[in-house]
Amino acid sequence: GPEGGGQAAGTALIELFPLDSFYPAGDEQVLVYEVTERVVPPAGIPLDVGAVVCNLATMNAISDAMDGIPLTKKYITVTGEVKCPSIVRAPVGTPFEECIRLAGGSKKERYCVIDGGPMMGKIMDYEAAREAAVTKTTSGLIVLDEDHYLNVLAKTPVGRMKNLASAACIQCSYCTQLCPRNLLGHPLEPHKIMRRFASGGDIPSLLDDPAVRQAAICCQCGVCEQYACPMGLTPRRINGLIRDEMRKAGIPYERREALWEADPERKNRKLPTKRAAARSGVLDYYDYEIDTLAEAAPSMVRISLRQNMGAPAQPVVQEGDRVREGQLIARCPEGKLGADIHAGIGGVVTKVTDYIVIEARG
């Protein structure tokens, strides 16, 4: 206070907390435990233990919104099999092709693209990547050879995953021992889910099993799948399929009351980021120093109406309308949770479906 010489009234105390380089350090529940040593309960949120997690880009966007400045551009890392790995500042709706072109173009004639990181990102084949565009949540693109291990793994059909699990799962439990959620004390045990999946029927028939239902709290980080499993199996994808089936069946996650405590071995089981990169087949790009910033000026943007949590936005423009950069083009439905969407460039609206196409015409 003013008399005690301490913190001045009206100021906030800010403390920096350097993290170890491990994966998934950015997961909000992991982050809360690292900083506060409080365990967010299964299926909970940081607020359950008195914490709020926001990344810098979000805080910056909130600050801009309070000043009436909408989010229309994103900074995107474009790396991997490109000639000049770069940071691209792109209007929302910019085609991935344009971002890759600004990073020097692909080294490969045909390629796949990871929208996000190698462990959790969405993998797109060549055709899908050519149709994809930047959204508010796009943070990075990794361009890889079309035959890359991650692309092959992503295409494994459910029947083959089941056959592989039946033939090769040795119940070593490494997927559970290294699971970041399990290490926080959550009751997620992927090896038990794999055992039931390998020996049971189709996924809907497994949903009565309490151990299988724990898949609902899987954060889809991929540690079990890309690092822990010595047999190359797919626990993460199976957990995701179970979560989807639980959602379709209207089965909620039921959390038992307990005092949640992290595993004492947790500090020894963190996955170093460089090891994660090596196991994911992207180690060649790990030490890139990117100091190139490219500014995208696309002649066309394709802006999705489904690029945020909650309800999709509803168009407030129609084909033939001329819009300016930053103009509202789709609004969150009344009484729903969602977000408004604004034009990434100025031009003419040429298509309105579940996305809005704007062409930059003179």
Residue 79's CATH number: 3.10.20.600
Residue-level pLDDT at 9: 62
Examine the domain organization and report whether 237 and 248 are in the same domain.
yes
Asked if residue 48 is part of any domain, the answer here is: no
Of 247, 278, 309, the residue that ends a domain is: 278
Q: What integer pLDDT is reported at residue 8 of this predicted model?
A: 59
217 and 303 fall within a common domain: no
Residue 22 lies in a domain: no
CA dist 319 → 46, 92, 206, 348, 362 (Å): 43, 19, 48, 8, 17
Specify whether 127 is located in the same domain as 171: no
Query: Could you tell me if 291 and 313 lie in one domain?
Result: no
Residue ending a domain, among 245, 278, 311, is 278
β-strands 293-295, 86-91 pairing: parallel
Residue 340: Cβ within 10 Å count: 16
Residues near 11 by beta carbon (within 8 Å), at least 6 away in sequence = none
Would 129 be classed as within a structural domain? yes
* In a domain? residue 252: yes
Domain boundaries, position 347: 299-362
24 cis-preceded (ω within 30 degrees of 0): yes
Same domain, yes or no, for 290 and 207? no
* Whether 39 contacts 260, CB under 8 Å: yes
Domain boundary among 296, 330, 352: 296
The answer to whether residue 135 is domain-embedded is: yes
Q: Do 273 and 287 reside in the same domain of the chain?
A: no
d(CA 239, CA 241) in angstroms, rounded, equals 5
Q: Are residues 288 and 335 in the same domain?
A: no
Domain membership of residue 59 (yes or no) is no
Q: Is residue 80 part of a domain?
A: yes
For 349, the token pair is 């609206």
Confidence (pLDDT) at 10: 66
pLDDT along the chain (362 residues), means of 10: 52 88 95 96 95 92 93 96 97 97 96 95 94 95 95 90 94 97 97 93 90 96 95 94 95 88 96 95 93 96 92 96 96 93 96 96 70
pLDDT at res. 6: 53
User: For 70-93, how does the pLDDT look when each residue is reduced to its tens digit (9 = 90+)?
Assistant: 999 999 999 999 999 999 999 999
Residue 143: the pLDDT is: 98
Residue 314: the pLDDT is 96
Confidence (pLDDT) at 11: 74
- 61 within a domain of the structure (yes/no): no
Number of separate domains in the chain: 3
Cα 178 to Cα 8, 166, 212, 217, 285: the distances in Å are: 44, 22, 18, 15, 25
Render the burial of 239-265: b for 16+ CB within 10 Å, e for the rest. bebbbebbeeeeeeeeeeeeebebeee
Q: Exposed, middle or buried, 159 (CB in 10 Å: 0-12/13-18/19+)?
A: exposed
